Structure 1
């Protein structure tokens, strides 16, 4: 009887001790969470008294803390990106608008010859068209990035599509004194995707190459067992490794001295469309300052 009583006391002491330690650990965890939530510390939960279930709970809480930190960092990044985008679009709107208003004043109040009037009217028209393109591109990008942007997948003969796009740029290549080097295989390459989206992506990449190339432009269509690629490369002395991280950001211009060369949204639109189609678009820079845009769609065997 005495033996049973001793055992009962030992068991009771064990459970009371365990209960006390668990309760103390809960208080300690509460204090750590309180300090974390009130930004007094960045430290995650750590345990002194180890219990299997409590340890698992701490692991899940720490995982949630990591997710919250990542979400906050992403939110901050998005906010900074939005602020930068607003600042950039404000600058890009204000610059031609100031020019337009200035020349309108000349036209209204100046004693101008017919030739000067035609010249100033042409400048005003050019600035207005630039604003129109900017606003249309910005609107298009916002539509593309919306969750319900429609895509209609069809069978695309990529050989024909790439050639059709390049023919459309014939005059612009001539104006820039560029001779494109084109590599398109004889075998027919079929891609299942949205034709208008694919066309817009390639057009934007070709247009970017024409505007910023310091030499010839090379366009290559390739197919492997796992992917279809459109690779567009051009010499770009103004591009650095630092620029590669930001090339697809809205309004980013690697060469700040080039004004009137576009809205700075073409590559962002191309990147967003590729993401929507489940493809990939990225840039590489070779040692000879050759910028390579690689547009890739994964395909099955």
Structure 2
């Protein structure tokens, strides 16, 4: 008798049932895969829609938004989006900082130029209109001249602040004797110190080599000494020293002025910030710190006991030239 294969069997046979179950399993698997794909697509669509909304927020000026996604396919895009937004945030922060700086600059110019200019015009008008006696005219003219010099000095300081970055970038950094350049600067202040009977103590080595333009050294040195002479109330002594500390030269300018309030101390290096009643534009220390950091150093301030402030400037030390012995006191 001829055997009949399972696939040749009629309805109800084992072969027919196996084929049916195989087809059903395949259909079920394809349905599940389609459902999973559809679910994945919906999740991806939601994530992309959320990303689009965040992009609209960022475009509208909200640079603090961040995009985090659990969808593995979207994570690289999310990381790039967050990097882009962080960059935009940094740019916006810098823009606002520059805008604040510009407004402070304009406000400070308006205030600091109006006062001496008004005084100059007032004294000159009094002389021109004959409102003062002849013997008083010279005193009025001398006062107007002094106010004019004050106005010029204020303009010079504003111009220096406006050109600060350009000046630092344009100036070369030759190898110079820092100690000798500081001695040249300090000589300028001996008459004022002697006139006010201020006890000046200077401790500088013979040589202290650094890489820095001599004009920048002079600007920082003058600013620190002028700051003590103009703003240290009750000043009777001034100590200036330069010593080596490892790979750096450290300049200290210390005064014995009256105690400074905490709010004044914390704002000393903030542009256009001045102690009430103090002269100047409030830029000298801000300029000095900017210059110190431009040559790889820094400018800091600390209280002295029992009174006074101590300003510290760091310069990276230049290596001795060939055949030249290392100098400086540790």
Regarding TM over 0.5, the answer is yes
Report the TM-score, using the length of structure 2 for normalisation: 0.79
**How many angstroms does 1:36 deviate by?**
5.4
Task: Kindly tell me the number of residue pairs found equivalent between the two proteins.
Answer: 295
Ranges in structure 2 where 5+ consecutive residues have no aligned partner: 1-21, 320-330
Q: In the alignment, is the contact (CA less than 8 A) between 1:227 and 1:297 conserved in 2?
A: yes
| Aligned with 1:30 (options 36, 48, 52) | 52
**CA–CA distance in structure 2, aligned partners of residues 171 and 119 of structure 1:** 23
**Structure 1 CA distance for aligned equivalents of residues 134 and 208 of structure 2:** 56
Do 1:100 and 1:124's aligned partners in 2 also have CA atoms closer than 8 Å? Answer: yes
Partner of 1:104: 124
Q: 1:40 to 1:293 in 2, by over 3 A?
A: closer
> How much does 1:183 deviate?
2.4
Instruction: Encode CA deviations 1:275-297: one digit per residue, 9 max, x unaligned.
Output: 33232222223464422211112
Q: Is 1:136 equivalent to 2:156 in the alignment?
A: yes
Contact 2:210–2:318, Cα closer than 8 Å, also in 1 = no
Offset, 1:29: 2.7
1:32-80 deviations in Å (ceiling 9; x for gaps): 4435554789653343xx2224123223323433443343333223322
1:273 and 2:291 aligned: yes
Let me know the Cα RMSD of the aligned residues.
2.7
Q: Partners in 2 of 1:192 and 1:266 — Cα distance? A: 22
2:179 maps to which of 155, 159, 164: 159
Equivalent residue for 1:12, pick from 34, 40, 50 = 34
| SS at 2:210 equivalent | strand
For residue 233 of structure 1, the aligned residue among 254, 265, 273 is 254
What SS does the corresponding residue of 2:151 show, helix, strand or coil?
A: helix
Give 1:125's match in structure 2, choosing from 130, 145, 159: 145
- Could you say what secondary structure the match of 2:175 adopts? strand
* Higher mean displacement: 232-241 or 211-220: 232-241
**Tell me, which stretches of 5 or more residues in structure 1 are unaligned?**
none
Q: Deviations over 1:78-106 (max 9, x none)?
A: 32232122112211111111111111121
User: How far apart are the structure 2 equivalents of 1:88 and 1:286?
Assistant: 31
Distance 1:225 1:39, change over 3 A: closer
CA distance in 1, matches of 2:167, 2:28: 69
- 2:73 counterpart of 1:73: no
1:217 aligns with 2:235: no
More deviation, 274-283/220-229: 274-283
Is the Cα–Cα contact under 8 Å of residues 143 and 149 in structure 1 kept in the other structure?
Answer: no
Q: Kindly tell me: are residues 128 and 252 of structure 1, through their superposed partners in 2, closer, same or farther at Cα, counting changes over 3 Å?
A: same
| Paired residues of 2:120 and 2:148 also in contact (CA < 8 A) | yes
Deviations 1:237-281 (A, max 9, x none): 363332234323333222x223xx434332233233223323222
